[in-house]
Amino acid sequence: MQISELDTPAPVIDLDKVEANIKALQNYADSHNIVLRPHIKTHKLPLLAHKQLATGAKGITCQKISEAMVMAESGIQDILLSYNIVGKQKIKPLTNLACLSDLKVGLDNEVALATVAEAATLADKRIGVVLEFESGNERQGLREVSSCLALAQKVQSHAKLYFAGLMTYPLGQYTDAWLNEAKSAFAKAGMDIPNISAGGTPAMYKAHEHPDITELRAGTYIYHDRATVNAGVATWQNCALHLHVTVVSHPHPDRVIIDAGSKSLSSDLISSGKGYGQLVGYEEAVIYRLNEEHGLVDISACTRKPKIGDRLEVIPNHVCVVSNLHDEVVLQRQGKVEAIVPVLARGKTR
Amino acid sequence: MQISELDTPAPVIDLDKVEANIKALQNYADSHNIVLRPHIKTHKLPLLAHKQLATGAKGITCQKISEAMVMAESGIQDILLSYNIVGKQKIKPLTNLACLSDLKVGLDNEVALATVAEAATLADKRIGVVLEFESGNERQGLREVSSCLALAQKVQSHAKLYFAGLMTYPLGQYTDAWLNEAKSAFAKAGMDIPNISAGGTPAMYKAHEHPDITELRAGTYIYHDRATVNAGVATWQNCALHLHVTVVSHPHPDRVIIDAGSKSLSSDLISSGKGYGQLVGYEEAVIYRLNEEHGLVDISACTRKPKIGDRLEVIPNHVCVVSNLHDEVVLQRQGKVEAIVPVLARGKTR
């Protein structure tokens, strides 16, 4: 089957590009003795997670219990759940996940720690706890080294938990200063820090400039998108997921409508330049507005104008959220469809 | 089961409010002799579409073939597909849909007309064609009455198609002027305009002020959301879908993190005031930033501060896109869970 025979909108993934992207980051990590633990949120596909592991990744990173469970069910053992798991409803699914995998959980507070401890007790199996610190992103994570050390000591005092290191997202301006203070405080308390993990694709090739970082959690690098191209860590050629769309209306000389709106592309602008995605071959076109099923494209600056019925390709602003919107993705090589596969960890919000 | 026992994030729908919202608009439409044809994009649930029909709606509106097919499979006959269907891949699914239903298709161009004509021929069944005109929204639709008339005549010349009227979205500043011109041109050409349909919840209670409008397509009114409250057509009490979330981190005195980000709430701002949703009971709180699984909430102005483990409720900015993000929704009355049902027409982008 040729790509041109697919119904649209269709997310189409170039496997040659995927494999090259996986290798590029693995080579970088290997050459700097950094462990790679890819975040699967970008692809949500066990088959690509297994490709990442086969190329040298030590384990994977997931954000929610339900998406980690999909990966564990596919046979993946070494899982970091990099999210505060809070509340009694989470205990049973977390226990199941712990039984199936070699689980580490990231957290920044005692309520989450109590949830993880209860799951470890029920699973009768040790769970690693990775403490999240805040180093410039102002999202979450411990800000005070003293609070972090106290929490680490609490982890070590629990028979079914062990302290599995520190994590931050992304590499920030305060990462090194924070770690220097932490290393000194932990050493004084007689505690080792077994691993220090940083996340994020935009700064991935700077990980080695932070001497304490021993692990990298990157997700987007497997597909790349307009945001990572704009961040300077990829070229348009590296972008492996294109959304194939059709022009369905041409209501004004300067405007065409594509059959992909926020339900196919998401409303994420993610500071990627003008509009909601880059049209391949129409660099001057701007997808300037999305309704749920309509993408409004300003073609006033285009020398070549698309017309109704034309099939176009969009490189998304933020590819991870696009994976989450589609039940299936098309896998291709050299323009030929290899398979259409369900996005098994799509929609896993819990 | 009580709502407090649900795992989060969980979209929870109050059926009493749903029924009251359905009745309110049906009463309005009945009192003005306007036919109601609800857009099912908001709920994507056949069981609620049937409630709308049982309360007096004449038929339903869908945007894509695949979501219309879910509704047809549930036994709904009278369907308007208000979207330009373009391309050879669409012919077979459109033919199937036409066979199962009493189908009308909205369009604004000849390429879409050719696709619909081919499906009608293959189905060996008449399909109604509704011509879309543009009346202020600058999205799509015919701008020239003369082009619209010519397309209507082309419809009438096809044995398996019939001209089923005009549609626009939303009611715009040029709607009445455009329709006056159209009525005169169609009359001169000896053509009736059997129905004139307008869409949109924000202006729904103004439909009767436009004397030519005979049909109303509204979607959001069944749940309402922050945008329709801000538009003045609903109160917070009318908002039937609340996303139940949990506070998972409190990294700074002024900030808590909820376990719902863009994967649960979407990045739609839809000019609804500050932030990505309204926290019930914390009017001063602002959900000021979303990552995929993190909602960052500024609580600096709150007199009462939420803490880790607390369960909160969010009224979404734009509820339709939230329905599309969740595989299941919870149906409740008076705080008791009645059922958890799959969102059968979720993710139907084609």
DSSP B196-216: EEEE-STTGGGGGGSTT--EE
| 3-class DSSP assignment, residue B165 | strand
d(CA A11, CA A250): 23
Tokens read off for B226: 């922050």
The answer to whether B274 contacts chain A (CB < 8 Å) is no
The answer to whether A300 contacts chain B (CB < 8 Å) is no
Q: Which of residues 188-227 of B touch A (CB under 8 A)?
A: none
Q: Do A86 and B308 touch (CB under 8 A)?
A: yes
Nearest CA in chain B to A140: B251
The answer to whether B298 contacts chain A (CB < 8 Å) is no
Choose among B64, B257, B350: nearest Cβ to A140. B257
Nearest CA in chain A to B268: A267
Q: How far is B63 from chain A (nearest CA, A)?
A: 7
Question: Residue B181 class from Cβ within 10 Å (0-12 exposed, 13-18 middle, 19+ buried)?
Answer: middle
A143 CB neighbours in chain B (<8 A) are 251-252
Choose among B41, B143, B262: nearest Cβ to A292. B41
A291 CB neighbours in chain B (<8 A) are 139
Tokens read off for B76: 């709904």
d(CA B282, CA B270): 21
Q: Do A257 and B140 touch (CB under 8 A)?
A: yes
pLDDT of residue A271: 67
Q: Do A5 and B89 touch (CB under 8 A)?
A: yes
The answer to whether B2 contacts chain A (CB < 8 Å) is no
Please name every residue paired with B132 in a beta bridge, in sequence order, or none if there are none: B167
Tokens read off for A287: 């997808």
Q: How far is A267 from chain B (nearest CA, A)?
A: 5
* Mutation choice for B interface testing from A1, A118, A248 by most B CBs within 10 A: A248
d(CA B226, CA B240): 11
A170 CB neighbours in chain B (<8 A) are none
pLDDT of residue A341: 98
| CA torsion angle A29 A34 A35 A41 (round to 10) | -60
Helix (H) or strand (E) holding B227, with range, is helix B226-230
- In DSSP notation, A196-265 reads EEEE-STTGGGGGGSTT--EEE--GGGT--HHHHHTTS--GGG--EEEEEEEEEEEETTEEEES--HHHH
Q: Is the pTM of this model over 0.95?
A: yes
Report the relative pairing of strands A127-132 and B336-342 from DSSP bridges. Answer: unpaired
Q: Are A73 and A100 in contact (CB under 8 A)?
A: yes
Q: Do B349 and A64 touch (CB under 8 A)?
A: no
The answer to whether A8 contacts chain B (CB < 8 Å) is yes
The answer to whether A134 contacts chain B (CB < 8 Å) is yes
pLDDT in tens, chain A (350 residues): 999 999 999 999 999 999 999 999 999 999 999 999 999 999 999 999 999 999 999 999 999 999 999 999 999 999 999 999 999 999 999 999 999 999 999 999 999 999 999 999 999 999 999 999 999 999 999 999 999 999 999 999 999 999 999 999 999 889 999 999 999 999 999 999 999 999 999 999 999 999 999 999 999 999 999 999 999 999 999 999 999 999 999 999 999 999 999 999 998 887 667 899 999 999 999 999 999 999 999 999 999 999 999 999 999 999 999 999 999 999 999 999 999 999 999 999 99
pLDDT of residue B239: 98
Alpha-carbon distance values, A123 to A91, A102, B57, B326 (Å)? 10, 12, 53, 29
Residues of chain A with pLDDT > 90, as a percent, come to 97
Size of interface A-B (CB pairs under 8 A): 167
pLDDT in tens, A121-146: 999 999 999 999 999 999 999 999 99
Please name every residue paired with A267 in a beta bridge, in sequence order, or none if there are none: none
Q: Do A347 and B324 touch (CB under 8 A)?
A: no
Within 8 A by CB and 6+ apart from A69, the residues are A93, A96, A97, A100, A348
The answer to whether B142 contacts chain A (CB < 8 Å) is yes
Q: Do B349 and A134 touch (CB under 8 A)?
A: no
Q: Are A87 and B8 in contact (CB under 8 A)?
A: yes
Choose among B90, B93, B108: nearest Cβ to A251. B108
Helix (H) or strand (E) holding B262, with range, is helix B262-265
Within 8 A by CB and 6+ apart from B123, the residues are B95, B98, B99, B160
Q: Do A292 and B250 touch (CB under 8 A)?
A: no
d(CA B143, CA B187): 19
Nearest CA in chain A to B107: A249
The answer to whether B310 contacts chain A (CB < 8 Å) is no
| 3-class DSSP assignment, residue B115 | helix
Q: Do B266 and A269 touch (CB under 8 A)?
A: no
Q: Do B267 and A266 touch (CB under 8 A)?
A: yes
The answer to whether B86 contacts chain A (CB < 8 Å) is yes
Phi/psi at A198 (nearest 5 deg)? Answer: -125, 145
Nearest CA in chain B to A63: B293
pLDDT of residue A273: 72
Tokens read off for B66: 């695949």
Choose among B87, B134, B347: nearest Cβ to A251. B134
Choose among B140, B263, B321: nearest Cβ to A294. B140
Choose among B64, B142, B267: nearest Cβ to A268. B267
CB-based burial, B184-205: b 16+ in 10 Å, e otherwise: eebeeeeeebebbbbbbbbbbb
Place of tokens 């580490």: A104
- Please report which residue ranges of chain A form alpha helices under DSSP H: 15-31, 46-54, 65-73, 91-100, 110-123, 145-156, 175-188, 226-230, 262-265, 319-323
Q: Do B294 and A139 touch (CB under 8 A)?
A: yes
Rounded to a whole number, what is the distance in angstroms from the first to the last CA of chain A? 36
ipTM of this complex: 0.97
pLDDT in tens, A289-301: 999 999 999 999 9
Choose among A84, A266, A308: nearest Cβ to B109. A308
The answer to whether B271 contacts chain A (CB < 8 Å) is no
Tokens read off for A177: 């200063």
pLDDT in tens, A275-333: 999 999 999 999 999 999 999 999 999 999 999 999 999 999 999 999 999 999 999 99
The answer to whether A320 contacts chain B (CB < 8 Å) is yes
A259 CB neighbours in chain B (<8 A) are 84, 86
Q: Which long-range contacts (C-beta less than 8 Å, at least 24 apart) are formed by A275-283?
A: A276/A317, A277/A226, A277/A243, A277/A314, A277/A315, A277/A316, A277/A317, A278/A226, A278/A236, A278/A314, A278/A315, A279/A312, A279/A313, A279/A314, A280/A236, A280/A242, A280/A312, A280/A313, A280/A314, A280/A315, A281/A312, A281/A313, A282/A306, A282/A312
B308 CB neighbours in chain A (<8 A) are 86, 109, 111-112
Q: Do A83 and B293 touch (CB under 8 A)?
A: yes
Q: How far is B180 from chain A (nearest CA, A)?
A: 21
Choose among B260, B308, B320: nearest Cβ to A111. B308
10-residue mean pLDDT profile of chain B (350 residues): values are: 96 98 98 98 98 98 98 98 97 98 98 98 98 95 98 98 97 94 98 98 96 98 96 97 98 98 91 87 96 98 97 97 98 97 98
pLDDT of residue B271: 67
| 3-class DSSP assignment, residue A342 | strand
d(CA B105, CA A284): 32
Tokens read off for A325: 């919107």
The answer to whether B308 contacts chain A (CB < 8 Å) is yes
The answer to whether B251 contacts chain A (CB < 8 Å) is yes
